[in-house]
Amino acid sequence: MLVILNYHGVEPTQEMSGNVISLRLFRSHLRTLRDLGFKSPLDEIFEGGIFRYPDRGKFALITFDDGFESVYRYAYPLMEEFGFKGVIFVISGYIGRENVWDIPLGRKRHLSQQQIRELSDRGWIVGSHSCSHPDLTRLRPGELREELVASRETLEDITGKEVKLFSYPYSRLNETVKLEVSRAGYSYAFRSRRSLKNGHFDPLSIERISLYPIDLDIRRKIETFSPRRIYEILKEKAVGLFSYISAYA
């Protein structure tokens, strides 16, 4: 079983933001995953065929979008405590800066180059979340390629490693965007929400389970076959739509 989880920010106390969860709640999620027997061997997940053969064990791929500094300060030490590694998707144009692109509900600082490098050195995977967090489906061809290629090159310069993972801003993509993501050198690309369809595995449109402050029991989110599944998916879509409308209104 492979569960792919998506977080954004983790703070000491709960804030007025749908994408930020408290350290206490995050600890609860990690404890539950550990107690259920989940592990996060990143090399095995990406190189051992776990995506295509998820029944080899119980695996948790824990990802973070946007690359907020709070992930380094709070999530990273806690994940070390519980024995988990993560994937951090960085907006390369905002490294070390505040999130002026986001909903104005309190500014957050993004990771510095040194923090990104340390996470990479400690076994985390660093992926791209574009240069400036735009809706990629709205961009001209040259703009789209710049967002994809420049962000990858910047992160490779920082980590000294190939960047093969990408996360779509606002979970917005189409066939043109997917093609350019592949051409830009990425092997896997992630959406931030699930769909109601159970289709074939697409490495350039990997669905994740998004976690929010109201998700007190992570077991309800990771149940594959449950009457709650439709409700959880619709909830993820509603939060994502609010974030997108707030950015482009």
Rounded alpha-carbon distances, angstroms, from residue 58 to 3, 129, 137, 243, 248:
8, 27, 35, 31, 39
pTM of the predicted protein model: 0.89
CB 238, CB 194: distance < 8 Å: no
Task: Please report, rounded to a whole number, the percentage of residues in the chain having pLDDT higher than 70.
Answer: 84
Fold assignment, 2-248: TIM Barrel (3.20.20)
Could you give the 3-state DSSP secondary structure of residue 110?
strand
Name the residue ranges covered by the structural domains of the chain.
2-248
Q: How confident is the model at residue 113 (pLDDT cuts 50, 70, 90)?
A: very high
Asked if the model's pLDDT at residue 11 lies above 90, the reply is: yes
What's the pLDDT at 236?
A: 67
pLDDT score of 249 more than 60: no
What single letter denotes the amino acid at residue 52?
A: R
Q: Do residues 20 and 9 lie in contact, with contact meaning Cβ atoms separated by under 8 Å?
A: yes
What are the tens digits of pLDDT across the range 159-176? 999 999 999 999 999 999
Is residue 159 within 8 Å of residue 174, measured between CB atoms? Answer: no
Section 140-148 average pLDDT? 98
243 membership: H or E segment, kind and range = helix 228-248
- Per DSSP (E only), the strands in 108-230 are 125-128, 165-167, 188-190, 209-210
Average pLDDT, the chain: 89
Q: What pLDDT band is residue 245 in, cutting at 50, 70 and 90?
A: low
Per-residue confidence band for 87, with pLDDT thresholds at 50, 70 and 90? very high
- Integer CA distances (angstroms), 128 to 13, 109, 112, 235, 245, in order: 28, 17, 15, 25, 22
Q: Which residues contact 11 (CB under 8 A, 6 or more apart)?
A: 20, 21, 22, 23, 70, 74
